[in-house]
């Protein structure tokens, strides 16, 4: 297993870094925060024109046909620049599942995603449910269609999405639906969460959907839901690498320049140790995120390793974001100073789709049940 980037991956990463660095910086983010746009639509279109929104979309739908590893490189650059874009929601939690399991009609939306003309998301989080792949939301047959009842919370870009993936539990098991948010019985309400990213609560009250809205086969629903969650967690891990790596870089630069007690703050051993611990955390995040992406690309079922990557994104992200705040001193609490944006973004990623403790619990259950055996064959 070699994590060295090949020529195509290096080119994609460099192009993403250039476009996102040009389009998202401290000043542009400050100006964006004062506006009312949910995301930077101009930058979204630029990424579409450059082909980057089609990284993991099949060539048949106008994409480049790459995989999760390449998506991870794009997400890392987004984390580094904090570009306000629905990349994770659209390209990670939604598009791969539609590409893998959707029918021709459902896949048609992917060509619009590749050009930047559509936004997708997945409604996964539910209050009181720590396993998004086993939803509490209910689906019941009604003629040739289905009736959906329940509430999804903290849905990224839920109010902006063209289509939404919705897992629900029926008498036949878990089923995933691809729905139009304008469907009767669907109520979308904006929510405010840790980060500035737009989130929404979506209530389904006897929402009628057709049988054609089922993604894949009914009996595939549990596997599809697990795939969506696994991709989502792996994507968050990659995003956190960029967020925390840049936060740590800025912290190292600040502590090297900040004079305290007649010497640079960074010359003090306690500060050096905390920064060094942060570096170790970032590298642990990076290696586990890369492995999670690689396993998904290889088609190896290894939820415990993906949960490990999300665990490091949570616990490592917590430590690095707090260290960055603390080592900036009073400047870390200044809302006019940019480091707070990395703190908020890292906290959002830390808790989305399961924090550190839920990940450890899931890994522990897998070990106890002896279901981590596929990992040995992947090494």
Closest CA to 296 of 371, 227, 242: 227
Q: How far apart are CA 299 and CA 231, in angstroms?
A: 12
Phi-psi region of 65 (alpha: psi -120 to 50; beta: other; left: phi over 0): left
Q: Model pTM? A: 0.95
Instruction: Domain ranges for the chain, please list them.
Output: 7-119, 122-218, 222-378
CA angle, 375 as apex, 374 and 376 as ends, to 5°?
Answer: 90
Q: How many CB atoms lie within 10 A of CB 329?
A: 14
pLDDT digits 0-9 by tens, 268-326: 788 888 989 999 999 999 999 999 999 999 998 888 999 999 999 999 999 999 999 98
pLDDT(374) > 50 = no
Phi-psi region of 49 (alpha: psi -120 to 50; beta: other; left: phi over 0): alpha
- One CATH from 1.10.3720.10, 2.40.110.10, 3.40.50.720, 3.40.50.970 for 122-218: 2.40.110.10
Give φ, ψ of 196 to 5 degrees.
-70, -5
Average pLDDT, rounded, for the chain = 93
Report strand pairing: 259-260 vs 263-264: antiparallel
CATH superfamily of 222-378: Butyryl-CoA Dehydrogenase, subunit A, domain 3 (1.20.140.10)
Which fold would CATH assign to domain 7-119?
Answer: Butyryl-Coa Dehydrogenase, subunit A; domain 1 (1.10.540)
pLDDT band for position 200 (50/70/90)?
very high
pLDDT of 2 reads 66
pLDDT digits 0-9 by tens, 78-108: 999 999 999 999 999 999 999 999 999 999 9
pLDDT of 373 reads 54
């Amino acid at each position: 297993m070699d994590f060295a980037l090949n020529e195509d991956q290096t080119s994609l990463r460099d192009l993403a870094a250039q476009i996102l660095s040009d389009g998202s910086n401290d000043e542009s983010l400050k100006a964006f925060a004062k506006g009312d746009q949910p995301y930077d639509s101009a930058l979204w279109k630029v990424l579409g024109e450059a082909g980057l929104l089609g990284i993991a979309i099949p060539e048949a739908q106008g994409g480049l046909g790459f995989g999760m590893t390449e998506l991870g490189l794009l997400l890392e650059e987004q984390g580094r620049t904090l570009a306000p874009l629905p990349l994770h929601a659209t390209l990670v939690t939604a598009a791969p599942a539609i590409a893998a399991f959707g029918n021709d009609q459902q896949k048609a939306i992917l060509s619009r995603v590749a050009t930047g003309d559509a936004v997708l998301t997945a409604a996964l989080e539910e209050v009181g449910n720590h396993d998004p792949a086993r939803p509490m939301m209910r689906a019941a047959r009604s003629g040739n269609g289905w009736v959906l009842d329940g509430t999804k919370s903290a849905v990224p870009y839920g109010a902006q999405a063209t289509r939404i993936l919705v897992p629900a539990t029926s008498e036949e098991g878990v089923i995933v639906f691809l729905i139009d948010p304008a469907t009767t019985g669907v109520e979308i309400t904006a929510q405010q969460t840790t980060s500035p990213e737009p989130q929404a609560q979506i209530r389904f009250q006897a929402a009628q959907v057709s049988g054609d809205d089922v993604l894949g086969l009914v009996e595939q629903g549990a596997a599809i839901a697990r795939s969506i969650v696994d991709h989502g967690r792996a994507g968050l891990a990659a995003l956190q690498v960029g967020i925390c790596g840049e936060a740590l870089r800025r912290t190292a630069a600040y502590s090297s320049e900040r004079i305290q007690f007649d010497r640079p703050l960074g010359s003090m051993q306690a500060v050096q140790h905390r920064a060094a611990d942060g570096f170790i955390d970032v590298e642990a995040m990076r290696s586990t995120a890369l492995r999670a992406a690689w396993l998904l690309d290889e088609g190896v079922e290894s939820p415990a390793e993906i949960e490990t990557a999300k665990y490091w994104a949570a616990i490592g992200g917590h430590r690095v974001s707090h260290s960055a705040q603390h080592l900036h001193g009073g400047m870390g609490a200044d809302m006019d100073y940019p480091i707070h944006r990395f703190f908020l973004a890292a906290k959002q990623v830390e808790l989305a789709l399961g924090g550190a403790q839920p990940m450890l619990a899931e890994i522990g259950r897998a070990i106890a049940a002896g279901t981590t055996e596929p990992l040995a064959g992947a090494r």
